[in-house]
């Protein structure tokens, strides 16, 4: 049992370069039916994945056995999204087999990087929320916590973005077209999920009356299991993603009616449920199919948990001892009435007992403050799709409001404000309220966010139940976002402080003294320069974008949303250009900058798509403007995803975190950049606040309104036009857009943006413009002193250990879950 090259525990058999190569060839022949000589790259990738996967299976099964035997409490993470990123590299890291695999492939005349390069990442999420779920399951496994991630196996993940004339076009993400070697389908463990129909009263065995739901249709939920290996441990947890399949019962009805075509069509309708990830980030559309997705996956998950992870004779009154269901935003909240239905209707528990069990089993994480992001489902739709669940929600609400009225007699306004069922603009269920009422704990995702959640969005609820509210600041996995993505920095850290930091990230503190070490700083700069080079090479082949790597790398990557204010970044670029045009600045005095954007817009989000078009239009002009002498460039590679992030983040000097204060719940990209030695230019929003506090004012470019200031300006009546009128440089930039300078002289092209900025500017771009420009001027000055810049960058790395998702998970364990590690011993 030896894998000599690694500190990790070896897999279940001795592995050598030649035994690895043998297994690889065997996979090729006997799993895929091809010879090495005839294998395509896809065949080779599949065989390699199959080989590596094989080394995790024994540990996975041992983990499951141990967790069952110890009857441990299990964290069941319910999330509609998991933005996993490439799997092969992560599996190689977890098994410690990377260099062995490399050697084995080389011995066969093959190249590991080449094969890694063809993997299509499973993009089963939109952005931060989905990526957070992926980081969390990594940390849960690493910390040996019994956990299962439940979600949806979308056949099409987040769309592939392309640009057509600078405008976003969406292509389907066909990530499964060649199959996935990482999944284990289990049609044998399918769960039936009902929809529609009616409810009726029936007499049960004891002569009592019970409600029974009689659905009009049903769909089969087929689980696909993925292994989630921990780092530096034997533990391998499970991610179980559900895929919809038509049931026999479902088509039989129609077949019997003799309508063959209708039967086949019905099958498609059923299987549509897991067809595609909704591409709206933070702005749900309230579509019927989306509610179906939500119910589909949580109903399957709860039944799966109760019937497969618990013993047959388990008394469900003890459920909270064995599980904590974590609701990742409101998407899985329909799980609450579903558990009540199972307990009351199917298992015959008293309502009050079932309610106690339910409340003790669920916890809710909120990821937003935007009112338009809080999901509501119309009573009409719920009643049609899930009639029994609507009845249960009504009863929960009745009891809850009775409590509110008892606590605040005569305060009918309050009762109406707090009602789970809103009356206006239509009768609808407020899912965040339902989650809050039915959960033990409610948490926000950064200190400021949790505070605003408690004191504003859910203030009535925190008044009633102050102890229910808590914070868990987000984190990111250092395995993927440092160790894998930044091997150069990882080696430098290893050499300085040893290898222990990878699962004990606070140890990065030990790097602090190295910030004062000139040779360490030089080595740090060398790593950064290599990462820039690597990124520049990638963009040349991936996108045909030619850049110099000898520049300040200024990066803004995240979903395109007005509140995140990509517009502010664009105005900075335009202002620099305008200053040079007007002779206020000499091109020769510019700090060479490459401004990189990466952003997808929700396909139906008009303004976001206009901003994408504007960025591309400005890029076209600026990148070729002779006046700028090539010292200011915009790169906007299409289809930003985890794969690209892993190459881009390590190359960044400057991290743009410039949302309007009080709008970004946390941000997690901000953490990745700081950990990779970029300095942040940012507002006091989300987790920026905590980054700023930790890295220190000298190592962070702070600017902009604070949340209370935003509130004051807004209360007084914000007038963006007054900022435009008072600020010549702002006027210059906006006028340049309006003049058609970026649209071939056409003044109408970006009119939607210009008039929105001048008349509405909901996210106060204009109010923060001057402060942002001044902060950017400070960036230029600071960058000129490379020694001081490196010192600040190293301190960012050294002081950001707090942002490991391992720490987030420990906080969840202490404050919310109260589950314990169950390490697998071999
Ligand atoms: C929040 F509400 C939502 C959503 O629908 N999708 C999503 O990605 C993000 N988020 C927040 O916008 C980020 O601030 C936060 O870091 C991330 O969730 C994870 O908590």
Instruction: Reply yes or no on whether 558 is catalytic.
Output: yes
Instruction: Reply yes or no on whether 680 is catalytic.
Output: no
Instruction: Reply yes or no on whether 532 is catalytic.
Output: no
Number of the ligand 1 atom closest to the C-alpha atom of 280: 5
Q: Which pLDDT score, from 0 to 100, does residue 427 have?
A: 98
Number of the ligand 1 atom closest to the C-alpha atom of 668: 16
Q: Are 21 and 52 in contact (CB under 8 A)?
A: no
Residue 561 beta carbon below 6 angstroms from any ligand 1 atom: no
Instruction: State in Å: Cα 665 to ligand 1 middle.
Output: 6
Instruction: State in Å: Cα 49 to ligand 1 middle.
Output: 31
- DSSP per-residue letters across 301-331: HHHHIIIIIS-TT--GGGHHHHEEEEEESST
Ligand 1, atom 19, lies closest to the CA of 129
| Percent of the chain that is helix, strand, coil (3-state, to 5) | 55, 15, 30
Class of domain 70-86+121-473+811-817: alpha beta
Q: Looking at this predicted complex, what is its ipTM?
A: 0.98
Residue 282 beta carbon below 6 angstroms from any ligand 1 atom: yes
Residue 128 beta carbon below 6 angstroms from any ligand 1 atom: yes
What secondary structure letter does DSSP report for 476? B
- Helix 566-581 to helix 765-784 angle, to the nearest 10 degrees? 60
- DSSP per-residue letters across 325-378: EEEESSTTTTHHHHHHHIIIIIT---HHHHHHHHHHHEEEE-----GGGS-EEE
Instruction: State in Å: Cα 128 to ligand 1 middle.
Output: 5
Number of the ligand 1 atom closest to the C-alpha atom of 125: 8
Number of the ligand 1 atom closest to the C-alpha atom of 370: 2
Ligand 1, atom 16, lies closest to the CA of 667
Q: Which pLDDT score, from 0 to 100, does residue 250 have?
A: 56
Q: Kindly give, in sequence order, each residue whose CB lies less than 8 Å from that of residue 376, ignoring residues fewer than 6 positions away.
A: 286, 422, 428, 429, 430, 431
Residue 445 beta carbon below 6 angstroms from any ligand 1 atom: yes
Closest CA to 547 of 557, 559, 556, 538: 538
Alpha carbon distance 82, 807 (integer Å):
20
Instruction: State in Å: Cα 272 to ligand 1 middle.
Output: 26
Number of the ligand 1 atom closest to the C-alpha atom of 664: 14
Instruction: State in Å: Cα 691 to ligand 1 middle.
Output: 17
Q: Which pLDDT score, from 0 to 100, does residue 750 have?
A: 98
Ligand 1, atom 10, lies closest to the CA of 129
Instruction: Reply yes or no on whether 528 is catalytic.
Output: no
Q: Which pLDDT score, from 0 to 100, does residue 249 have?
A: 62
Residue 373 beta carbon below 6 angstroms from any ligand 1 atom: yes
Enumerate the domain spans of the chain: 1-69+89-120, 70-86+121-473+811-817, 494-705+764-803
Residue 281 beta carbon below 6 angstroms from any ligand 1 atom: yes
Instruction: Reply yes or no on whether 564 is catalytic.
Output: yes
Instruction: State in Å: Cα 368 to ligand 1 middle.
Output: 6
Q: Which pLDDT score, from 0 to 100, does residue 9 have?
A: 45
Residue 420 beta carbon below 6 angstroms from any ligand 1 atom: no
**Dihedral pair phi/psi, residue 810, rounded to 5°:** -60, -40
Alpha carbon distance 361, 355 (integer Å):
10
Chunked mean pLDDT (size 10), the chain, 826 residues:
38 80 97 96 98 97 96 98 98 97 98 97 98 98 98 98 98 97 98 98 90 96 98 98 86 71 84 97 90 98 97 97 98 99 97 98 97 95 98 98 97 98 97 98 98 98 98 98 98 98 98 98 98 98 97 98 98 98 97 98 98 99 98 98 98 99 98 99 99 98 98 98 98 98 98 98 99 98 98 99 99 98 92
Residue 122 beta carbon below 6 angstroms from any ligand 1 atom: no
Residue 369 beta carbon below 6 angstroms from any ligand 1 atom: no
Q: Which pLDDT score, from 0 to 100, does residue 266 have?
A: 81
With b for 16 or more beta-carbon neighbours within 10 A and e for fewer, the 97-109 pattern comes to: bbebbbbbbeeee
Options 3.40.50.10860, 3.40.640.10, 3.40.50.2000, 3.40.390.10; which CATH number does 494-705+764-803 get? 3.40.50.2000
Instruction: Reply yes or no on whether 609 is catalytic.
Output: no
- Helix 765-784 to helix 786-798 angle, to the nearest 10 degrees? 110
Instruction: State in Å: Cα 129 to ligand 1 middle.
Output: 5
Ligand 1, atom 5, lies closest to the CA of 282
Residue 685 beta carbon below 6 angstroms from any ligand 1 atom: no
Residue 686 beta carbon below 6 angstroms from any ligand 1 atom: yes
Q: Which of 77, 123, 129 to mutate to test the pocket of ligand 1 (most atoms within 8 A of CB)?
A: 129
Alpha carbon distance 312, 300 (integer Å):
17
Q: Are 420 and 429 in contact (CB under 8 A)?
A: yes
Q: Kindly give, in sequence order, each residue whose CB lies less than 8 Å from that of residue 587, ignoring residues fewer than 6 positions away.
A: 580, 627, 628, 629, 631
Instruction: State in Å: Cα 17 to ligand 1 middle.
Output: 43
Number of the ligand 1 atom closest to the C-alpha atom of 449: 14
The answer to whether the bond into 700 is cis (omega within 30° of 0) is: no
* Domain pair 70-86+121-473+811-817 / 494-705+764-803, same fold: yes
Instruction: State in Å: Cα 612 to ligand 1 middle.
Output: 20
Q: Which pLDDT score, from 0 to 100, does residue 4 have?
A: 34
Query: 74-78 and 147-152: which strand pairing?
Result: parallel
Alpha carbon distance 120, 113 (integer Å):
14
């Amino acid at each position: 049992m030896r894998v000599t090259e690694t500190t990790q525990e070896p897999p279940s058999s001795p592995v050598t370069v030649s035994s690895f190569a043998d297994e690889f060839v065997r996979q090729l022949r006997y799993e895929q039916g091809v010879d090495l000589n005839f294998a395509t790259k896809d065949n080779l990738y599949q065989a390699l994945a199959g080989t590596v996967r094989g080394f995790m299976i024994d540990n996975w099964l041992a983990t499951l056995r141990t967790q069952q035997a110890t009857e441990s409490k299990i964290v069941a993470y319910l999330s509609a999204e998991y933005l996993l990123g490439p799997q092969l590299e992560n599996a190689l890291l977890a098994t410690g087999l990377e260099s062995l695999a490399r050697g084995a492939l080389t011995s066969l005349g093959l190249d590991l990087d080449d094969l890694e390069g063809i993997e299509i990442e499973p993009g089963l999420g939109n952005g931060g929320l989905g990526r957070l779920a992926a980081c969390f399951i990594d940390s849960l496994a690493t910390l040996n916590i019994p956990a299962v991630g439940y979600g949806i196996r979308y056949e099409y993940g987040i769309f592939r973005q392309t640009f057509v004339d600078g405008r976003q076009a969406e292509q389907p993400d066909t990530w499964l077209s060649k199959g996935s070697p990482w999944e284990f389908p289990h049609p044998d463990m399918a769960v039936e999920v009902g929809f529609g129909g009616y409810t009726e009263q029936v007499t049960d065995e004891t002569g009592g009356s019970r409600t029974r739901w009689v659905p009009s249709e049903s769909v089969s939920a087929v689980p696909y299991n993925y292994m989630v290996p921990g780092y530096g441990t034997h533990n391998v947890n499970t991610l179980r993603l559900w895929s919809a399949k038509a049931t026999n019962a479902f088509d039989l009805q129609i077949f019997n009616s003799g309508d063959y075509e209708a039967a086949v069509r019905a099958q498609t309708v059923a299987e549509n449920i897991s067809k595609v990830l909704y591409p709206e980030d933070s702005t749900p559309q309230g579509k019927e199919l989306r509610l179906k997705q939500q119910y589909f996956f949580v109903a399957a998950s709860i039944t799966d948990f109760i019937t497969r992870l618990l013993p047959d004779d388990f008394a469900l009154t003890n459920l909270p001892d064995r599980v904590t269901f974590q609701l990742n935003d409101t998407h899985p909240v329909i799980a609450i009435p579903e558990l009540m239905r199972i307990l009351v209707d199917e298992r015959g528990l008293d309502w009050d007992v079932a309610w106690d069990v339910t409340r003790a089993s669920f916890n809710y994480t909120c990821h937003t403050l935007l009112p338009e992001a809080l999901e509501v489902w119309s009573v009409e739709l719920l009643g049609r799709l899930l009639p029994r669940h609507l009845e249960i929600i009504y009863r929960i609400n009745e009891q809850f409001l009775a409590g509110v009225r008892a606590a605040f007699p005569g305060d009918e306004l309050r009762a109406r404000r707090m009602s789970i069922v809103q009356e206006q603009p239509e009768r609808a269920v407020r899912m965040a309220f339902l989650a809050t009422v039915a959960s033990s704990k409610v948490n926000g995702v950064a200190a400021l966010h949790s505070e605003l959640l408690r004191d504003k969005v859910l203030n009535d609820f925190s008044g009633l139940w102050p102890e229910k509210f808590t914070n868990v600041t987000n984190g990111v996995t250092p395995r993927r976002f440092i160790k894998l993505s930044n091997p150069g920095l990882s080696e430098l850290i290893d050499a300085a402080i040893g290898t222990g930091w990878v699962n004990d990230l606070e140890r990065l503190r030990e790097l602090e003294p190295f910030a004062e070490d000139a040779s360490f700083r030089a080595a740090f700069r060398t790593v950064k320069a290599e990462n820039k080079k690597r990124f520049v090479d990638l963009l040349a082949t991936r996108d045909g974008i030619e850049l110099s790597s000898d520049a300040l790398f200024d990066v803004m990557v995240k979903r395109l949303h007005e509140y995140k204010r990509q517009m502010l970044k664009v105005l900075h670029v335009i202002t620099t250009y305008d200053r040079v045009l007007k002779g206020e600045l000499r091109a020769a005095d510019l700090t060479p900058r490459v401004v990189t954007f990466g952003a997808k817009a929700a396909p139906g989000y008009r303004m976001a798509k206009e901003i994408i078009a504007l960025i591309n239009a400005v890029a076209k002009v600026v990148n070729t403007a002779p006046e700028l002498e090539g010292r200011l460039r915009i790169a906007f590679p299409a289809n930003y995803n985890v794969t690209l992030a892993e190459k881009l983040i390590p190359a960044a000097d400057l991290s743009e975190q410039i949302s309007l204060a009080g709008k970004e719940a946390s941000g997690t990209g901000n953490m990745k950049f700081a950990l990779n030695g970029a300095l942040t230019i940012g507002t006091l929003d989300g987790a920026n606040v905590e980054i700023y506090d930790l890295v220190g004012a000298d190592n962070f470019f702070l600017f902009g309104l604070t949340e209370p200031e935003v509130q004051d300006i807004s209360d007084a009546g914000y007038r963006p036009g007054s900022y435009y009128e008072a600020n010549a440089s702002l006027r210059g930039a906006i006028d340049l857009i309006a003049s058609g300078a970026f649209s071939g002289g056409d003044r109408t092209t970006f009119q939607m943006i210009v008039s929105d900025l001048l008349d509405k500017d909901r996210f106060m771009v204009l109010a923060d413009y001057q402060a942002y420009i001044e902060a950017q001027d400070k960036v230029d000055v600071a960058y000129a002193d490379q020694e001081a810049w490196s010192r600040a960058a190293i301190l960012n790395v050294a002081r950001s250990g707090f942002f490991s998702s391992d720490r987030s998970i420990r906080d969840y364990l202490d404050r919310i879950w109260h589950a314990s590690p169950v390490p697998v011993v071999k």
